[in-house]
Chain A
């Protein structure tokens, strides 16, 4: 992994890295990718990818009716900044 690749991945993941962290992640992601590269050894032709451990389990659906109560005040008690029932963030549109 090049330094630029780490910076790109960190940007995609919305993570600000300190200067000192970059070489550390460069080294460890390089070794992790080399390690998971062992997967290339496996013969997977014709094997269906497995997304979920319980074969045959299908997504359950429920009737389209209101099932939850409005608890926004309770939930917003954890918000860093909220006002009048709204979450506040820095101005997005000038």
Chain B
């Protein structure tokens, strides 16, 4: 049986048509996970018992004719979403022993919609990283070439979806953590508008940037999952009270007349020549569909990475202050006094990159430096946001590459943090401005997949998914399977 290759849309049909049951589907995917997990390390927990219980319940709903669009469909959650009764580690030794006492809103909504959770995916510790090398549980490997990184921080989610271990997974994106691994693993990823998806129960990294989203194998599947997880949540004070459109219903709208902005700065130095060709070929597909291209410029976008590496560490240093060894998580052995307890707990519990960001954040927020760094970065953030606003007066969406290059070797960029940070050069702008953005597979550089990034104005998820879906009807990059995972 090849149902592991099917999309959510196809699986839903098969379940309702009685071709297979959710329990059978669950068993098949858990077997695939047990075969490939040792090589890929895409998951940190496999929740077999819970999965079979949820699948059996889903089969009863289907038999009773009460199935919703997601009933019985398998999913994996990034290990940053709290899952009641299941270890939620955030990729950190600090939370290696933390069993979440409640579900994140995203998890609760997808559970209520009838999805079957197969496990929790590996990730960079506290979502800080672009290669998934910063996990306490070891690096995730890219199914296209296991010597390479899958991208990060949602690297486990992207690798699991690419390797056909699960049709869809949740992810989070603070500076590119959904889009960059989606691009490097050849899958589809969407980061919604800030405030579109509840952050309740999503372990905080940088609260003004973090946003939950979906990694899947098609835009149509992403629409299906996002429709179920998006929407107002009183438990998240930055959740936006605004109805969720039917992302699935609008997938087929023609894109004739869509005005696409070609971001001039994204095609300048640093972009791999082959990668650029793949993106331009994708743009030609949109032209064929009746869209028009127009060059736009974001004059301040070059400052997005520096602005991010002030704002994100500042918010991280504040958010991660909660890990004190008192209420939950790791605690050092035999503390001499309270200060020793705090310092050794945190020194032992956090990995190298997390400590680096906490210290960067502490420094830029400290007395005497706040104005020079933090306030300045917030002003630059406003400049970048205003640039985007001006661009969206001229065009409906902005397109360009998701990453400057395809996946790189494990260990290749760990020596210098700046080199690693620059992986997110094309993705960070959307986080600073709170914009929705997607990555869609648009071809290969050698044997490695690369992504087309589509950025929209606030709450334009419908438009992004629609454009991505029509592109995927014209191309087959998103159905290519890494060799060995067919």
User: Known: A14-B343, A44-B379. Is A90-B338 also a contact (CB below 8 A)?
Assistant: yes
Give per-residue flags for B295-318: 1 if the beta carbon is below 8 A from chain A beta carbons, else 0. Answer: 000001001011101100000010
Q: How distant is A87 from chain B, measured CB to nearest CB, in Å?
A: 5
What A residues does B340 contact at CB under 8 A? 90
User: Known: A6-B359, A9-B362, A12-B366. Is A42-B344 also a contact (CB below 8 A)?
Assistant: no
Q: Is the CB of B208 within 8 A of A53?
A: yes
User: Known: A9-B366, A28-B356, A51-B378. Is A71-B101 also a contact (CB below 8 A)?
Assistant: yes
By CB atoms of chain B within 10 A, which of A15, A18, A81, A89 has the most?
A15
Q: How distant is B414 from chain A, measured CB to nearest CB, in Å?
A: 11
By CB atoms of chain B within 10 A, which of A10, A24, A76 has the most?
A10
Let me know if B385 is at the binding interface, CB within 8 A.
yes
Give per-residue flags for A1-21: 1 if the beta carbon is below 8 A from chain B beta carbons, else 0. Answer: 000011001111111111001
Set B99, B325, B383: member contacting A44, Cβ < 8 A: B383
What B residues does A39 contact at CB under 8 A? 303, 306-307, 310, 373, 376-377, 380
Q: Is the CB of A25 within 8 A of B355?
A: yes
Closest partner residue, chain B, to A35 (CB atom)? B418
Let me know if A92 is at the binding interface, CB within 8 A.
yes
Q: How distant is B199 from chain A, measured CB to nearest CB, in Å?
A: 13
Closest partner residue, chain B, to A42 (CB atom)? B380
Let me know if B434 is at the binding interface, CB within 8 A.
yes
User: Known: A44-B376, A79-B327, A90-B338. Is A54-B240 also a contact (CB below 8 A)?
Assistant: yes
Q: Is the CB of B362 within 8 A of A31?
A: no
Closest partner residue, chain A, to B334 (CB atom)? A90
Closest partner residue, chain A, to B317 (CB atom)? A13
Q: Is the CB of B208 within 8 A of A52?
A: yes
Q: Is the CB of B362 within 8 A of A12?
A: yes
Q: How distant is B237 from chain A, measured CB to nearest CB, in Å?
A: 6
- 17 further A-B pairs in the complex, CB-CB below 8 A; given A5-B363, A16-B348, A44-B380: A9-B359, A11-B343, A15-B355, A16-B343, A31-B418, A32-B356, A36-B373, A40-B376, A42-B303, A42-B376, A50-B382, A54-B434, A59-B237, A78-B97, A89-B338, A90-B338, A92-B338
Could you tell me which B residues sit within 8 Å of A by CB distance?
97-99, 101, 194-195, 208-209, 234, 237-238, 240, 300, 303, 305-307, 309-310, 317, 321, 324-331, 335-344, 346-348, 350, 352, 355-356, 358-360, 362-364, 366, 373, 375-383, 385, 416-418, 421, 432-435, 458
Could you tell me which A residues sit within 8 Å of B by CB distance?
5-6, 9-18, 21, 24-25, 28-29, 31-33, 35-42, 44, 47-54, 57, 59-60, 62, 71, 74-81, 87, 89-92
